[in-house]
Amino acid sequence: MAKARQGGEIDSSARERILDTSYELFSRRGVRAVGVDEVIERAGVAKATLYRHFSSKDALVLAFLDMREQRWTRGFVEAGAISRGATPEERLLAIFDMFDEWFHRDDFEACSFINVLVEVGPQHTAGGASIEHLERIRALVRRFAEEAGLRDPESFARSWHILMKGSIIAATEGDAQAARRAKSMARLLIEQHR
């Protein structure tokens, strides 16, 4: 249950505004380019409110990454692949169909896990968290590969994830056909692992 705070501000509502604002800013511009003061101003909260919910900017970045996993990994990639593919192989290939649509959207913002990892490095807490989130994407691919009965699902998932990440980087560079190119290579990878 949300607690009322000074000035009638609802605690959970303020936390949600902070997270939604951070999500929008961090996913578009990165974590280093966005300061806490900008988050506070855009979310319409007091500095004390932000720090009551998140002890530091790093804690806010970690919460953003968790939200990204829920919205993007679970809500977009996993849910989309399951809804579009009747079989595990179709689910795998559907990832690139979804990527193709995503790459053509005006709000395409690339992969926050890759972006944060590159920005802060693997030794940083947020970089380590990004690596863990990327592993969960590979785990999803590995699960689909196991369900499809493909050989060596671990190696398959690593190779598949290279295609996913590579297509995102290529799309960021401006290659509008990156997902289609990756999907062609993905079909060959499936054949190699049958």
- Residue 29 is predicted with a pLDDT of 93
- Residue 11 is predicted with a pLDDT of 60
DSSP labels, 70-81: IIIIIIIIIHHH
**CA dist., res. 19 & res. 22, Å (int):** 5
- Residue 68 is predicted with a pLDDT of 94
- Residue 37 is predicted with a pLDDT of 94
Give the Cβ contact number of residue 79 at 10 Å. 12
Strand partners, 10: 4
- Residue 176 is predicted with a pLDDT of 92
**CA dist., res. 57 & res. 9, Å (int):** 22
Mean pLDDT of the chain: 92
Q: What is the dihedral of CA 165, 120, 69, 19, to 10 degrees?
A: -140
Positions of the chain with pLDDT under 70: 1-12
- Residue 10 is predicted with a pLDDT of 52
- Residue 4 is predicted with a pLDDT of 44
